[in-house]
Chain A
Amino acid sequence: MRTIRIGSGAAWWGDRVEPAAWNAERGDLDWLVFETMAEATVSAAQVRRRRDPAFPGYDTYLDDRMAAVLPHCLAQRTRIVSNQGWINPEAAADRIAWWCRKLGHAGVRVAAVDGGMLTERIADLADRVLETGEPVAALAGTMVSAEAYLGAEPIVAALADGARIVVTSRVADPSLFLAPMMHAFGWAADDWARLGQGSGIGHLMECGAQVTGGYFADPGYKDVPQPWHLAFPIAEVAEDGSAVVTKLAGTGGVVDRRTVKEQLFYEVHDPAAYITPDVVVDFTTTRIEEEGPDRVRVTAIGGRPRTPTLKVSIGLEEGFVGEDMFFYAGPGALQRAKLARTILEERFRYVQLAAEDLRIDFLGVDAIHGPASPAPAAEPYEVALRVAARTRTRAEAAKVGREVDAMAVSGVGMTGKRVPHQDRVREVVGVWSALVPRAAVMPRITFRES
């Protein structure tokens, strides 16, 4: 049975570049796939563009990634599918074509897939916010962006039209991997069994090193060889969708039934109904077999007909967060931290901090799991006091940092503090969801050649 080799090139915007280059150079890949968008990427890019008109609107590491992989991909005829287009896939495609020319490859066909942006139309298309039930129409004043998750089909169309590189705006993560399978094997868009299996494999691949030993090690329980040298995964996918998940020889990390199982459920709710734009995936029937070192065969993932709607991600302006921390050590550290908290609480009253939410936590005691943390068995030797407030305005949020500044000389004995060298206020863009009819979304595909 014919198989194709699909490698991962990134699992998020901040991911390493070297493992992508290793896969491109040594992975004997037919396809290299980049996933660089988080839930808030589009709204964050819109906010940035408002502030910085020179921001091109695509992955800020596009140049680094393309410079690292294109020489190998072009020489080995590895095709690329990538969602690095963010809010401007046409400009990203132009830039990639520029890179191809610069590397001496003329005539490389590069496609941009766009068309999911619905910011202007969402109030007419969607009724209510899924999470809150609030009417979408009521959000107009604070909406930063609304974009539909596209599926594999527009990528498949671009590939059928001869594209060797496809760069997209928002596409569901598994669809980036499903598209090459549909193209290579000619799977129909209603072949639910194969689309389910292929999307399941895409789901395992989309978080890159999370299936090759990243986000996994737990010393003494789950040990990972050379965790400083992790590879990104490679899937060997057969015509029937069955696949082996593996990684390059000579790299660190591990691919086994444990890493595959953990990733299978990652960000999944009902394992029998994982909804993508292409198909509803059923993970409950999955068979996972270790067929060799770092080789796991994954079969029997199910698929059912896709839903009549597409998910839209809505970004809303939700004010600001001000945050900072300072710290104590040695005998009595926690007692001094508690006094510091009391001082801050009084100061916030004095400066009339208008906070919608406020947290003052003892990092090292209960800052992370809050009330679910067990009482410390012994007095902690070190404690950081971490304070965060959510406010309507930037000026209110800035009060947090200003009050923490004062703790240097007007606070508690033996207070350790950083110089305030970083921006301690960030803008909050909340991400919410809604559903729209499929027919409302018309993907747009454009081509250029290097």
Chain B
Amino acid sequence: MRVPLRRLAHARSGDKGNISNVGVFAYEDAFYPFIKAQLSAERFAARYPGVVKGRVDRYPVDGLAAINFVAHEALGGGVSRNLCLDNYGKTLAAAVLDVEIDIPDALAPLLRGP
């Protein structure tokens, strides 16, 4: 079955200069291999066209069932210069949660949300 990432993982973004990092955290260890296999840096970047203007570094941490995405040139030149209303990029983590991930049907009982 194909589900939005939001049903498998939660996320938080943080800022440093013109770089935004988005941590993606599987709710269940069983979800993690599917997220890791399908949520590449390229797929992450493709969710932020016109927002993330630089490269995306991807750091999977298997022991925590988590992936840290580090998006360069993502904050309009830096927090203080950024003309975007959300100049810290605090809302950016939400966008990746609608990326769709294929998982085995057997995992359906573990899905979060309605």
Contact = CB atoms under 8 A, between A and B. Distances in A.
Given A269-B21, A318-B81, A389-B83, A261 B64 contact: yes
A361 B17 CA distance: 23
Contacts of A266: 12, 14, 21, 23
Contacts of A269: 16, 19, 21, 57, 59, 68, 70
A220 B4 CA distance: 14
Interface stretch (B33-41, B45-53, B102-110): B45-53
- Sorting the interface of chain B by its residue count into under 10, 10 to 19, 20 to 34 or 35 or more gives 35 or more
B102 to A, nearest CB: 20
Interface in A350-387: 357-359, 361, 363, 367-372, 386
Contacts, number: 134
A264 B114 CA distance: 27
Interface in A330-360: 357-359
Contacts of B25: 258, 261-262, 265
B81 A390 contact: yes
A268 B48 CA distance: 20
Interface in A254-274: 258, 261-272
B79 A39 contact: yes
A312 interface: no
B101 interface: no
B64 A270 contact: no
A222 to B, nearest CB: 6
Given A269-B57, A284-B61, A286-B63, A220 B114 contact: yes
Residue among B23, B49, B80 with the highest chain A CB neighbour number at 10 A: B80
Interface residues of A, number: 52
B55 interface: no
Interface stretch (A59-67, A96-104, A149-157, A429-437): A429-437
B84 A430 contact: no
Given A269-B57, A372-B50, A390-B83, 6 more contacts: A39-B16, A39-B79, A269-B19, A358-B83, A359-B83, A369-B92
Interface of B: 6, 10-12, 14-19, 21, 23, 25, 27, 47-51, 57, 59, 61, 63-64, 66, 68, 70, 76-81, 83-86, 90-92, 95, 112-114
Interface of A: 39-40, 131, 215-216, 218, 220-222, 258, 261-272, 283-288, 318, 321, 323, 357-359, 361, 363, 367-372, 386, 388-390, 428-433
